[in-house]
């Protein structure tokens, strides 16, 4: 049942260590429940790394942080065959991609071959070395980060790889009250509501929660709303000439799948046994911002991707 939320202690644990970033915490849990990956964009120092570390503390799972750099090789990510001269054989040495939770820090600094290797892992849940294909763990989540400020020496992610991310989350600076709490936390003063760390969740509990999300009621009207919203990105002229000018390419069917899966996860986290249009609207910006390609006209007119999605949500009627 949705009311028996096994992730509540985990959420409280993460929020006790990540101050002022409730949206990021929720999106991390949604990605975990929806069995997807997330791209987090924000300035340095906004607790992106700390967030997934806190998640790893509350789950029985292996965690690894990999700093992406221009000289990174695919073998540094997926592993390589090591020759053993004592018996004349090759032995595969696993790379960090085989961990359950992987932090791909500053992913846009990695060259194309590394991004391609990560793409296969994210899309197919497997990697190929030579003639051998190896399966990744059943629980596998990639949280990639990128810095929107410094672009020198970066390799922009191709659309094909962006589409593999379930969510593209943007994090902003905390408010003043949250900043005071951050200062106290940095001084070692525990929050009153922090409490002891919870018992780490087993992977079987997470897999059961995923099944519970799939069991939530999704009405035909809400399903139709998802379809209409995604189709509006492909046929924007039906909703205004300005939208037609601003959109070059609409979202793929992965957007429809992601909207449903993420909306189900959000509804489950809220303790409901049904999915509402509010769930769709709340998650739509993070699902669509990296899947809808703006035109040069939109950029010239100063139309951001968030403004574009806000217009879509305002014009597509709730079924």
- Residue 267 structural domain: 216-315
Tally Cβ neighbours within 10 Å of residue 112: 12
Same domain, 262 and 176: no
- The per-residue pLDDT for range 235-279, each reduced to its tens digit, is 999 999 999 999 999 999 999 999 999 999 999 999 999 999 999
Same domain, 90 and 167: yes
Residue 189's SS3 state is: coil
Report the greatest alpha carbon distance in the chain: 71
pLDDT value of residue 112: 83
Q: Is residue 244 part of a domain?
A: yes
Find the length of the chain.
319
Q: Which position has the token pair 């959420």?
A: 11
- Give the Cα separation of 172 and 158 in Å (integer): 24
Q: How many CA atoms lie within 13 A of 34 on its CB side?
A: 29
- Give the Cα separation of 301 and 60 in Å (integer): 48
Same domain, 175 and 244: no
Q: Which of 170, 186, 202 is the last residue of a domain?
A: 186
Q: Is residue 19 part of a domain?
A: yes
Same domain, 50 and 177: yes
Give the bridge partners for 249, in sequence order: 293
Residue 122: give its domain's CATH number: 3.40.50.300
Decide if pLDDT at 315 tops 80.
yes
Task: Name the most confidently modeled range: 58-62, 80-84, 256-260.
Answer: 256-260
Q: In whole angstroms, how far apart are CA 228 and each of 236, 262, 318?
A: 11, 17, 9
pLDDT value of residue 27: 95
- The per-residue pLDDT for range 138-179, each reduced to its tens digit, is 999 999 998 876 666 677 787 878 888 999 999 988 888 888
What backbone phi and psi angles, to 5 degrees, belong to 38? -135, 145
Residue 267: give its domain's CATH number: 1.10.8.80
pLDDT value of residue 3: 41
Q: Residue 78 has which token pair?
A: 């997926």
- Which residues does 294 contact at the CB level (< 8 Å), separation at least 6? 246, 247, 248, 303, 305, 308
Same domain, 58 and 128: yes
């Amino acid at each position: 049942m949705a009311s028996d939320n096994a992730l509540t202690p985990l959420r409280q644990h993460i929020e006790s260590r990540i101050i002022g970033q409730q949206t990021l915490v929720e999106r991390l849990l949604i990605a975990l429940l929806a069995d997807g990956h997330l791209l987090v964009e924000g300035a340095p120092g906004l607790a992106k790394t700390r967030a997934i570390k806190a998640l790893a503390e509350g789950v029985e799972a292996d965690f690894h942080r990999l700093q992406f750099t221009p000289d990174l090789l695919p073998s540094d990510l997926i592993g390589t065959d090591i020759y053993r001269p004592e018996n004349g054989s090759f032995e595969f040495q696993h790379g960090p991609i085989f961990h359950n939770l992987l932090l791909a820090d500053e992913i846009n600094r990695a060259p194309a071959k590394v991004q391609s290797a990560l793409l296969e892992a994210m899309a197919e849940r497997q990697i190929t070395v030579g003639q051998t294909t190896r399966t990744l763990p059943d629980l596998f989540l990639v949280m990639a980060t990128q810095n929107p400020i410094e672009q020198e020496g970066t390799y922009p992610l191709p659309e094909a790889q962006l589409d593999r991310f379930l969510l593209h989350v943007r994090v902003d600076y905390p408010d003043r009250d949250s900043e005071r709490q951050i200062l106290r936390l940095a001084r070692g003063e525990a929050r009153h509501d922090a409490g002891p760390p919870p018992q780490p969740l087993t992977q079987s509990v997470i897999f059961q929660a995923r099944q519970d999300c799939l069991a939530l009621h999704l009405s035909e009207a809400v399903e139709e709303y998802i379809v209409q919203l995604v189709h509006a990105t492909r046929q924007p002229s039906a909703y205004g000439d300005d939208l037609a000018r601003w959109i070059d390419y609409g979202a793929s069917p992965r957007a429809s799948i992601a909207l449903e899966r993420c909306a189900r996860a959000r509804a489950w986290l809220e303790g409901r046994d049904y999915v509402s249009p509010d769930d769709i609207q709340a998650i739509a910006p993070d699902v669509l911002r990296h899947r809808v390609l703006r035109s040069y006209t939109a950029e010239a007119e100063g139309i951001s991707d968030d403004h574009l999605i806000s217009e879509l949500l305002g014009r597509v009627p709730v079924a």
